[in-house]
Amino acid sequence: DAKTTQPTSMDCAEGRAANLPCNHSTISGNEYVYWYRQIHSQGPQYIIHGLKNNETNEMASLIITEDRKSSTLILPHATLRDTAVYYCIVRALGFSGGSNYKLTFGKGTLLTVNP
Amino acid sequence: DGGITQSPKYLFRKEGQNVTLSCEQNLNHDAMYWYRQDPGQGLRLIYYSQIVNDFQKGDIAEGYSVSREKKESFPLTVTSAQKNPTAFYLCASSIDKQGNEQFFGPGTRLTVL
């Protein structure tokens, strides 16, 4: 799986958009970008994933650059409950018999939403 | 509510004792996973199971054992052979066997004294 680089920490004001960047310059053509988050002492929570088109769901939007070397997770209206470590993961979509079943979590970005 | 449950949330054991961590899911997911997380670190895969009665070693399986007798249950035993068992243990499941969109339980924090 390609390596990802994320800032160690970021701050955001409550109610504002939180934009979390991720660099994945060695991403391969068949690799997806996944985002998870982990609130302190809880299990990680799946947020969103995408291949090359921008994606949006009820939690967030994912913007992937045209060359796919970087992406941004956007939380449109951050709340205090969004304070968490956000992980950007790049992996190929798993296939039967392959070894892509695991998620490789790096250190992520600690997003702190301030009142 | 559908989800993954892990119990207990906190567990204390004496060194040299085996301990079994519970993981149950009612999501009807085929695949289940056990990860370990150490302070300030990412997750490392211990074991995974893509189907009932079958499981495979992950990256750090030494000192651990699992069973998958039922689709909804995937217990993890931390044996006395595990050198550094104190950690946060996370169980996950995915609807497909390929590990896409894994859903995690709340975790069990194991402390070995």
Q: Among all chains, which residue has been given the structure tokens 């958009």?
A: A17
Return the residue of B nearest to A37 by Cα.
B104
Distance CA B38, CA B19 (A): 18
Going by DSSP bridges, is the β-strand pair B31-37/B43-51 parallel, antiparallel, or unpaired?
A: antiparallel
What is the edge-to-edge ordering of all strands in the sheet holding A84-92?
A: A9-13, A109-114, A84-92, A31-38, A45-50
CA distance A17 to chain B (A): 25
Q: What is the dihedral of CA A114, A8, A22, B97, to 10 degrees?
A: -100
Amino acid in the structure at residue B27: L
Digits of tens for pLDDT over chain A (115 positions)? 568 999 999 999 999 999 999 999 999 888 889 999 999 888 999 999 999 989 999 999 999 999 999 999 999 999 999 999 999 998 876 554 445 567 778 889 999 999 9
Residues listed for chain B? 113
**Which residues of B touch chain A, with CB atoms under 8 Å apart?**
4, 6, 31, 33, 40-43, 45, 48, 50, 58-59, 88, 90-92, 96-107, 109
